[in-house]
Structure 1
Protein backbone atom coordinates (compact mmCIF):
# COMPACT_ATOMS: atom_id res chain seq x y z
CA UNK A 1 0.00 0.00 0.00
CA UNK A 2 1.39 3.39 -0.94
CA UNK A 3 1.47 6.35 1.38
CA UNK A 4 -1.36 8.85 0.67
CA UNK A 5 -0.01 12.39 0.71
CA UNK A 6 -2.32 15.01 2.19
CA UNK A 7 -2.59 18.59 0.95
CA UNK A 8 -0.98 20.44 3.86
CA UNK A 9 -2.31 23.85 2.82
CA UNK A 10 -5.97 22.93 2.36
CA UNK A 11 -6.36 20.34 5.13
CA UNK A 12 -8.13 21.30 8.34
CA UNK A 13 -6.63 20.72 11.76
CA UNK A 14 -8.92 17.70 12.30
CA UNK A 15 -7.86 16.16 8.96
CA UNK A 16 -4.20 16.61 9.89
CA UNK A 17 -4.72 14.93 13.30
CA UNK A 18 -6.55 12.03 11.62
CA UNK A 19 -3.82 11.67 8.97
CA UNK A 20 -1.11 11.62 11.62
CA UNK A 21 -2.97 8.97 13.63
CA UNK A 22 -4.04 6.70 10.74
CA UNK A 23 -1.17 7.01 8.25
CA UNK A 24 1.81 7.97 10.41
CA UNK A 25 0.94 6.17 13.63
CA UNK A 26 1.50 9.35 15.64
CA UNK A 27 -0.90 10.69 18.28
CA UNK A 28 -0.47 14.44 18.29
CA UNK A 29 -2.63 17.46 18.90
CA UNK A 30 -1.68 21.12 18.79
CA UNK A 31 -1.45 24.03 16.41
CA UNK A 32 -1.84 23.43 12.69
CA UNK A 33 1.80 24.41 12.07
CA UNK A 34 2.99 21.80 14.59
CA UNK A 35 0.85 19.11 12.94
CA UNK A 36 2.15 20.01 9.48
CA UNK A 37 5.73 19.89 10.77
CA UNK A 38 5.08 16.48 12.38
CA UNK A 39 3.81 15.13 9.04
CA UNK A 40 6.81 16.56 7.18
CA UNK A 41 9.18 15.07 9.78
CA UNK A 42 7.53 11.65 9.44
CA UNK A 43 7.72 11.78 5.64
CA UNK A 44 11.37 12.84 5.58
CA UNK A 45 12.39 10.21 8.17
CA UNK A 46 10.57 7.57 6.10
CA UNK A 47 12.33 8.65 2.92
CA UNK A 48 9.13 9.89 1.29
CA UNK A 49 9.32 12.82 -1.13
CA UNK A 50 6.24 14.97 -1.49
CA UNK A 51 5.10 15.24 -5.12
CA UNK A 52 4.54 19.01 -4.75
CA UNK A 53 8.02 19.63 -3.28
CA UNK A 54 10.86 20.41 -5.70
CA UNK A 55 13.64 17.85 -5.52
CA UNK A 56 17.31 18.76 -5.28
CA UNK A 57 18.00 17.50 -8.80
CA UNK A 58 15.33 19.69 -10.34
CA UNK A 59 16.41 22.82 -8.51
CA UNK A 60 20.11 22.33 -9.27
CA UNK A 61 20.01 21.99 -13.04
CA UNK A 62 23.45 22.50 -14.47
CA UNK A 63 23.79 24.79 -17.42
CA UNK A 64 26.56 24.15 -19.95
CA UNK A 65 28.35 27.30 -18.74
CA UNK A 66 28.71 25.71 -15.27
CA UNK A 67 30.42 22.58 -16.55
CA UNK A 68 34.14 22.41 -15.78
CA UNK A 69 35.37 22.24 -19.39
CA UNK A 70 33.32 25.15 -20.68
CA UNK A 71 33.78 27.31 -17.61
CA UNK A 72 36.28 30.10 -17.19
CA UNK A 73 39.23 29.95 -19.57
CA UNK A 74 42.77 31.09 -18.81
CA UNK A 75 45.68 32.02 -21.06
CA UNK A 76 48.89 30.12 -20.31
CA UNK A 77 52.33 29.44 -21.72
CA UNK A 78 54.14 26.18 -20.97
CA UNK A 79 57.86 26.88 -21.09
CA UNK A 80 60.20 24.52 -22.93
CA UNK A 81 62.55 22.62 -20.66
CA UNK A 82 66.19 21.65 -21.12
CA UNK A 83 65.30 17.98 -21.46
CA UNK A 84 61.89 18.06 -23.13
CA UNK A 85 60.64 20.36 -25.90
CA UNK A 86 57.82 18.12 -27.11
CA UNK A 87 54.18 19.22 -27.16
CA UNK A 88 52.12 18.62 -24.01
CA UNK A 89 49.10 16.34 -24.39
CA UNK A 90 46.20 16.81 -21.96
CA UNK A 91 43.21 14.46 -21.83
CA UNK A 92 40.41 15.44 -19.47
CA UNK A 93 36.98 13.79 -19.76
CA UNK A 94 36.01 14.20 -23.44
CA UNK A 95 38.52 16.97 -24.07
CA UNK A 96 41.86 16.29 -25.77
CA UNK A 97 44.34 19.15 -26.14
CA UNK A 98 47.83 19.24 -27.62
CA UNK A 99 49.65 22.31 -26.29
CA UNK A 100 52.75 23.63 -28.05
CA UNK A 101 55.47 24.67 -25.63
CA UNK A 102 56.44 28.33 -25.67
CA UNK A 103 53.19 29.50 -27.29
CA UNK A 104 50.25 31.28 -25.68
CA UNK A 105 47.08 29.15 -25.53
CA UNK A 106 43.65 29.59 -23.93
CA UNK A 107 42.51 26.51 -22.01
CA UNK A 108 39.66 25.77 -19.57
CA UNK A 109 40.61 26.50 -15.98
CA UNK A 110 40.23 22.81 -15.10
CA UNK A 111 42.99 21.97 -17.61
CA UNK A 112 45.28 24.56 -16.00
CA UNK A 113 44.57 23.11 -12.54
CA UNK A 114 45.36 19.61 -13.83
CA UNK A 115 48.65 20.76 -15.37
CA UNK A 116 49.66 22.69 -12.25
CA UNK A 117 49.14 19.57 -10.10
CA UNK A 118 51.13 17.33 -12.44
CA UNK A 119 54.44 16.44 -10.92
CA UNK A 120 56.14 14.15 -8.47
CA UNK A 121 57.02 14.08 -4.81
CA UNK A 122 60.76 13.99 -4.28
CA UNK A 123 62.87 13.59 -1.18
CA UNK A 124 65.91 15.50 -0.10
CA UNK A 125 68.29 14.32 2.60
CA UNK A 126 68.92 16.79 5.38
CA UNK A 127 72.25 17.21 7.19
CA UNK A 128 70.97 15.20 10.17
CA UNK A 129 70.16 12.21 7.91
CA UNK A 130 66.38 12.68 7.80
CA UNK A 131 64.47 13.23 4.59
CA UNK A 132 62.20 16.11 3.72
CA UNK A 133 59.63 15.81 0.98
CA UNK A 134 58.95 18.43 -1.68
CA UNK A 135 56.77 18.65 -4.79
CA UNK A 136 58.49 19.03 -8.15
CA UNK A 137 56.05 20.30 -10.80
CA UNK A 138 56.21 18.62 -14.21
CA UNK A 139 55.59 21.79 -16.22
CA UNK A 140 56.74 25.38 -15.87
CA UNK A 141 53.50 27.29 -16.51
CA UNK A 142 53.10 31.04 -16.87
CA UNK A 143 49.55 32.32 -16.36
CA UNK A 144 48.79 35.39 -18.48
CA UNK A 145 45.24 35.95 -17.20
CA UNK A 146 41.67 35.20 -18.18
CA UNK A 147 40.86 34.46 -21.79
Structure 2
Protein backbone atom coordinates (compact mmCIF):
# COMPACT_ATOMS: atom_id res chain seq x y z
CA UNK A 1 0.00 0.00 0.00
CA UNK A 2 2.91 2.36 0.61
CA UNK A 3 4.08 2.12 -3.03
CA UNK A 4 0.53 3.04 -4.10
CA UNK A 5 0.75 6.14 -1.90
CA UNK A 6 4.13 7.02 -3.39
CA UNK A 7 3.14 6.61 -7.04
CA UNK A 8 -0.56 7.55 -7.01
CA UNK A 9 -0.85 9.97 -4.10
CA UNK A 10 -0.36 13.69 -3.92
CA UNK A 11 2.46 15.41 -2.09
CA UNK A 12 1.00 14.81 1.43
CA UNK A 13 0.57 11.11 0.67
CA UNK A 14 4.13 10.83 -0.61
CA UNK A 15 5.39 12.60 2.50
CA UNK A 16 3.42 10.18 4.69
CA UNK A 17 4.72 7.16 2.78
CA UNK A 18 8.30 8.33 3.31
CA UNK A 19 7.67 8.90 7.01
CA UNK A 20 6.16 5.44 7.44
CA UNK A 21 9.14 3.84 5.69
CA UNK A 22 11.56 5.71 7.96
CA UNK A 23 9.53 4.67 11.03
CA UNK A 24 9.65 1.05 9.86
CA UNK A 25 13.44 1.20 9.51
CA UNK A 26 13.73 2.68 13.00
CA UNK A 27 11.49 -0.09 14.30
CA UNK A 28 13.66 -2.82 12.79
CA UNK A 29 16.89 -1.30 14.06
CA UNK A 30 15.62 -0.55 17.58
CA UNK A 31 13.86 -3.85 18.33
CA UNK A 32 16.42 -5.14 20.87
CA UNK A 33 16.42 -1.95 22.98
CA UNK A 34 13.80 -2.03 25.74
CA UNK A 35 13.08 -0.02 28.86
CA UNK A 36 10.46 -1.52 31.21
CA UNK A 37 9.21 -3.71 28.37
CA UNK A 38 8.72 -0.78 25.98
CA UNK A 39 10.66 -0.81 22.71
CA UNK A 40 12.18 2.65 22.96
CA UNK A 41 12.76 3.28 19.25
CA UNK A 42 9.20 2.27 18.34
CA UNK A 43 7.72 4.49 21.03
CA UNK A 44 9.85 7.46 19.98
CA UNK A 45 9.06 6.95 16.28
CA UNK A 46 5.34 6.65 17.02
CA UNK A 47 5.44 9.80 19.14
CA UNK A 48 7.15 11.79 16.38
CA UNK A 49 4.72 10.41 13.77
CA UNK A 50 1.80 11.44 15.99
CA UNK A 51 3.14 14.99 16.22
CA UNK A 52 3.77 15.26 12.47
CA UNK A 53 0.41 13.79 11.41
CA UNK A 54 -1.35 15.88 14.05
CA UNK A 55 0.24 18.96 12.50
CA UNK A 56 -0.85 17.78 9.04
CA UNK A 57 -4.40 17.20 10.34
CA UNK A 58 -4.66 20.68 11.83
CA UNK A 59 -3.07 22.57 8.94
CA UNK A 60 -3.81 20.48 5.85
CA UNK A 61 -6.79 19.95 3.61
CA UNK A 62 -6.90 16.14 3.76
CA UNK A 63 -9.11 14.04 6.04
CA UNK A 64 -6.89 10.99 6.45
CA UNK A 65 -4.25 12.64 8.73
CA UNK A 66 -7.02 13.09 11.32
CA UNK A 67 -7.79 9.36 11.26
CA UNK A 68 -4.10 8.47 11.21
CA UNK A 69 -3.41 10.71 14.21
CA UNK A 70 -6.21 8.99 16.14
CA UNK A 71 -4.76 5.57 15.35
CA UNK A 72 -1.28 6.73 16.36
CA UNK A 73 -2.62 8.06 19.68
CA UNK A 74 -4.03 4.58 20.31
CA UNK A 75 -0.61 3.15 19.46
CA UNK A 76 0.98 5.47 22.02
CA UNK A 77 -1.55 4.26 24.57
CA UNK A 78 -0.37 0.68 23.91
CA UNK A 79 3.23 1.79 24.61
CA UNK A 80 2.11 3.44 27.85
CA UNK A 81 0.12 0.34 28.89
CA UNK A 82 3.13 -1.89 28.34
CA UNK A 83 5.32 0.51 30.32
CA UNK A 84 2.86 0.64 33.23
CA UNK A 85 2.19 -3.10 33.26
CA UNK A 86 5.40 -4.85 32.21
CA UNK A 87 3.89 -8.23 33.15
CA UNK A 88 1.77 -8.02 29.98
CA UNK A 89 2.71 -10.62 27.44
CA UNK A 90 5.04 -9.38 24.70
CA UNK A 91 2.76 -11.00 22.12
CA UNK A 92 -0.17 -8.83 23.23
CA UNK A 93 1.94 -5.70 22.68
CA UNK A 94 3.11 -6.79 19.25
CA UNK A 95 -0.32 -7.96 18.06
CA UNK A 96 -1.99 -4.72 19.16
CA UNK A 97 0.64 -2.63 17.40
CA UNK A 98 0.49 -4.75 14.24
CA UNK A 99 -3.28 -4.28 14.05
CA UNK A 100 -2.96 -0.54 14.59
CA UNK A 101 -0.12 -0.40 12.04
CA UNK A 102 -2.33 -2.03 9.43
CA UNK A 103 -5.04 0.51 10.24
CA UNK A 104 -2.50 3.34 9.88
CA UNK A 105 -1.45 2.21 6.42
CA UNK A 106 -5.10 1.65 5.49
CA UNK A 107 -5.87 5.28 6.38
CA UNK A 108 -3.13 6.40 4.02
CA UNK A 109 -4.38 4.09 1.27
CA UNK A 110 -7.96 5.33 1.72
CA UNK A 111 -6.65 8.89 1.30
CA UNK A 112 -4.87 7.93 -1.91
CA UNK A 113 -8.00 6.18 -3.18
CA UNK A 114 -10.13 9.21 -2.36
CA UNK A 115 -7.76 11.52 -4.23
CA UNK A 116 -7.85 9.15 -7.20
CA UNK A 117 -11.67 9.21 -7.17
CA UNK A 118 -11.58 13.02 -7.03
CA UNK A 119 -9.43 13.09 -10.14
CA UNK A 120 -6.36 14.70 -8.57
CA UNK A 121 -3.19 14.04 -10.51
CA UNK A 122 -0.55 12.00 -8.71
CA UNK A 123 2.56 13.87 -7.62
CA UNK A 124 4.69 11.47 -9.64
CA UNK A 125 3.00 12.62 -12.87
CA UNK A 126 3.55 16.24 -11.88
CA UNK A 127 7.26 15.62 -11.35
CA UNK A 128 7.53 13.73 -14.63
CA UNK A 129 5.77 16.59 -16.43
CA UNK A 130 8.24 19.11 -14.99
CA UNK A 131 11.12 17.07 -16.37
CA UNK A 132 9.78 17.02 -19.92
CA UNK A 133 11.04 19.61 -22.33
CA UNK A 134 8.53 20.73 -24.89
CA UNK A 135 9.61 21.25 -28.47
CA UNK A 136 9.33 24.82 -29.78
TM-score scaled to structure 1, two decimals?
0.22
Higher relative contact order by CA 8 Å / sep ≥ 6: 1 or 2? Answer: 2
TM-score scaled to structure 2, two decimals?
0.23
Q: Which structure's residues are more often strand, by fraction?
A: 1
